[in-house]
Homo-oligomer: A and B are copies of this chain.
Amino acid sequence: MSSPPACPVPLAPEVIQLAHGGGGRATWRLLHEVVRPALGITGVSADAAELAVPPGARLAFTTDASVVRPIVFPGGDIGRLAVFGTVNDLATAGARPIALSLSLVLEEGLPIDVLRRVLGSIAAASRIAGVRVVTGDTKVVDRGRGDGIYTSVAGIGVIAPGVDVGPHQIRAGDVVIVSGDVGRHGVAILSVREGLGFEATIESDCAPVTGLLDALVDAGTELHCLRDPTRGGLSAALHELAIDAGVEIALSEPDVPVDGRVAAACELLGLDPFAMACEGRLVVIVPPDHAARALAALRSRPEGAHAAAIARVAAGTAGRVVATTVLGTRRLLDFAASEQLPRIC
């Protein structure tokens, strides 16, 4: 009599259970068998990580929560978005990332395989950005109180020597540059979520902007302010800068790079491409005599190939963004009251 063959496939797929958040053996196993290996965290567990900081470094600190839906979209996923969102926020302070933390809110019932894939994406994105997740926390909420997975990534970065950027540096006459075409991320999410059958797939621009920052710094560009135009898109970024710096911004609409498919999708749906989120673009504000150098530096990298000078800072009315249209007329750009699309990041 032979024994029955071992079942090669688990009878039920592994899913997240409330016990995985309880702090007992199930939590320990989830962390040591799934989370830490996927992120490449080795050594003994601890509640905090010690950082190696270069002596004399100036540090920047930021955090970004990600609640994007769906968690996988053309050109990216929640893992890439979580890492690049934080890395790009550091870049807007002129900083390169040196360490990330990851906190997870998992919903009961999430397949552990999905968690593994998100963690794998976080690890891959971290490698691309030249940084690692060094500490974290994992919580579980009951079914119907989450949406699979929410992430929060905090990041610490070292500010490049000599860089001091912020709205306080913005002066009338400064030139506003964007590193590439705008609105891709928002439209990519919209197309997949609403099941819109655009002829060609529009991919998110989801990417780190750290390389663009390096190129600007290496070229000796005098940087006044940096911003990544995420939620609310280019329009919200320019409005926030105009408010914080107490200036008016004069935008030249025809100079703003917009992919033809993005423009077509927005026109079809009555959306404003300037208010659609980017996740891999940098808005760079420089004094006029550094504009050519900044453009050349950005264009020296593939992700900055379509960089363009799009606006000028004017004394004018604080907080106002005035656009010159393709017809040569002028209009006030609207600081949209509400989102065009919820949960895009």
Instruction: Identify the A interface with B (CB < 8 A).
Output: 17-19, 21-28, 44-51, 53, 55-67, 88-90, 92-93, 95, 99, 101-105, 134-142, 144-147, 150, 152, 154-157, 159, 166-168, 227-228, 230-233, 236, 239-240, 243-245, 275, 277, 335-343, 345
Q: Which residue of the partner chain, among B53, B103, B228, contacts A53 with CB atoms under 8 Å?
A: B53
- Answer whether A27 and B232 are a contact pair too, CB < 8 Å, given A45-B240, A166-B46: yes
Would you give the shortest CB distance from A102 to chain B, in whole angstroms?
7
Given the complex, which residues of B lie within 8 Å of A89, measured CB to CB?
A: 47-48
Evaluate contact between A90 and B48: CB separation under 8 angstroms: yes
**Main SS at interface, chain A:** mixed
Q: Which residue of the partner chain, among B49, B146, B245, B277, contacts A62 with CB atoms under 8 Å?
A: B49
Would you give the shortest CB distance from A202 to chain B, in whole angstroms?
19
Task: Name 16 extra pairs, CB < 8 A, besides A50-B59, A152-B152.
Answer: A18-B338, A19-B338, A21-B342, A22-B232, A24-B337, A27-B232, A28-B239, A28-B335, A44-B167, A44-B168, A47-B88, A47-B228, A48-B92, A61-B101, A67-B140, A101-B154
Evaluate contact between A159 and B50: CB separation under 8 angstroms: yes
Evaluate contact between B244 and A45: CB separation under 8 angstroms: yes
Given the complex, which residues of B lie within 8 Å of A168, measured CB to CB?
A: 44
Q: Which residue of the partner chain, among B63, B144, B145, contacts A136 with CB atoms under 8 Å?
A: B63
Given the complex, which residues of B lie within 8 Å of A49, measured CB to CB?
A: 60-62, 93
The quantity of this chain's copies bound in the complex is 2
Would you give the shortest CB distance from A58 to chain B, in whole angstroms?
6
Given the complex, which residues of B lie within 8 Å of A53, measured CB to CB?
A: 53, 57, 59
Given the complex, which residues of B lie within 8 Å of A342, measured CB to CB?
A: 18, 21-22, 140, 142
The docked-state distance in angstroms from the alpha carbon of A49 to that of B93 is: 8
Given the complex, which residues of B lie within 8 Å of A139, measured CB to CB?
A: 65-67, 343, 345
Given the complex, which residues of B lie within 8 Å of A230, measured CB to CB?
A: 23
CB-defined A-B contacts under 8 Å, sample of 23: A18-B339, A21-B67, A22-B231, A22-B232, A22-B341, A23-B232, A24-B232, A24-B236, A24-B338, A26-B338, A27-B236, A46-B93, A46-B166, A47-B89, A47-B93, A48-B93, A50-B61, A51-B58, A62-B137, A63-B103, A65-B103, A66-B139, A142-B343
Evaluate contact between B137 and A65: CB separation under 8 angstroms: yes
- Answer whether A339 and B23 are a contact pair too, CB < 8 Å, given A61-B99, A67-B139, A101-B61: yes
Given the complex, which residues of B lie within 8 Å of A104, measured CB to CB?
A: 65
The docked-state distance in angstroms from the alpha carbon of A134 to that of B166 is: 15
Given the complex, which residues of B lie within 8 Å of A21, measured CB to CB?
A: 67, 231, 339, 342-343
Given the complex, which residues of B lie within 8 Å of A240, measured CB to CB?
A: 28, 45
The docked-state distance in angstroms from the alpha carbon of A190 to that of B162 is: 54
Q: Which residue of the partner chain, among B47, B95, B154, B339, contacts A24 with CB atoms under 8 Å?
A: B339
The docked-state distance in angstroms from the alpha carbon of A139 to that of B236 is: 16
